């Protein structure tokens, strides 16, 4: 008789555990669906390609808009490299 009682208690515990698990899974799925609906339909547009130039001192390639002009039509990635090149020539 006591084995039957233990079996019944275990069965109820497992049933409650599985019921709670199903509810958690449903809630998680609802959250995923809500997030999926909030996402934008199309990815954001990528900007137009930029012209790239090479630093005359270190060889780093960078966008022409970020480059620093130096003497003799050379471009540099930073003012420190431009100053180093001027010091080496002068």
Secondary structure (DSSP) of 26-69: HHHHHHHHHHHHHS-SSPPPPPPP--EEE-TTT--EEEGGG-EE
pTM comes to 0.48
So what's the pLDDT on residue 40? 66
So what's the pLDDT on residue 6? 94
What tokens appear for 1 in the block?
A: 């008789």
For the segment 25-75, what is each residue's pLDDT rounded down to a tens digit? 999 999 988 888 887 666 677 888 999 999 999 999 999 999 999 888 899
CA atoms of 77 and 56, how far apart (whole Å): 8
CA atoms of 14 and 6, how far apart (whole Å): 12
For the chain, helix, strand, coil in percent to 5 are 60, 10, 30
List the chain domain ranges.
1-39, 52-89
């Amino acid at each position: 008789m006591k084995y039957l009682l233990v079996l019944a208690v275990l069965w109820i515990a497992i049933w409650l555990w599985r019921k709670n698990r199903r509810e958690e899974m449903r809630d998680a799925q609802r959250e995923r669906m809500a997030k999926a609906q909030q996402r934008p339909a199309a990815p954001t547009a990528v900007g137009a390609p930029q012209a790239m130039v090479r630093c005359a001192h270190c060889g780093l390639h960078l966008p022409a808009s970020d480059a620093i002009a130096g003497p003799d039509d050379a471009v540099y990635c930073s003012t420190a490299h431009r100053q180093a090149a001027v010091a080496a020539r002068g």
